[in-house]
Amino acid sequence: MKIESTLSSIAREVFAASNAVDAKRIFIDYVSSSHIKESDKNKMLAEASKMSSLLQIHRYTANALLKYEGLGL
């Protein structure tokens, strides 16, 4: 059994969204209701709320995975 992280579990949905509004809603809804550390959650929500294009949301999701899930170098 493989345990998936909070962010990686929504990444597929965010990347599959066909427009920025849907991708942003998926990201914000999931992060808002997650058990992510409060300071990280607030920062992620503030950053995501500024995003207006699908590319920005995709990039932020990928970067958040790298930063918060320890996938970076």
CA angle 50, 34, 26 (to 5 degrees): 45
For the chain, the domain total comes to 1
Q: Residue 66: pLDDT band by 50, 70, 90 thresholds? A: confident
In a domain, 41, yes or no: yes
In a domain, 17, yes or no: yes
In a domain, 1, yes or no: no
In a domain, 73, yes or no: no
Q: Compute the distance between CA of residue 55 and CA of residue 73 in angstroms, rounded to an integer.
A: 23
Write down the pLDDT at residue 73: 55
Q: Compute the distance between CA of residue 8 and CA of residue 34 in angstroms, rounded to an integer.
A: 12
Write down the pLDDT at residue 64: 87
pTM as predicted: 0.83
Q: Which two tokens stand for residue 28?
A: 């914000």
Which residue range forms the structural domain that includes residue 40?
A: 6-68
pLDDT (tens digit per residue) in 3-58: 456 678 889 999 999 999 999 999 999 999 988 889 989 999 999 999 999 999 99
Write down the pLDDT at residue 71: 59
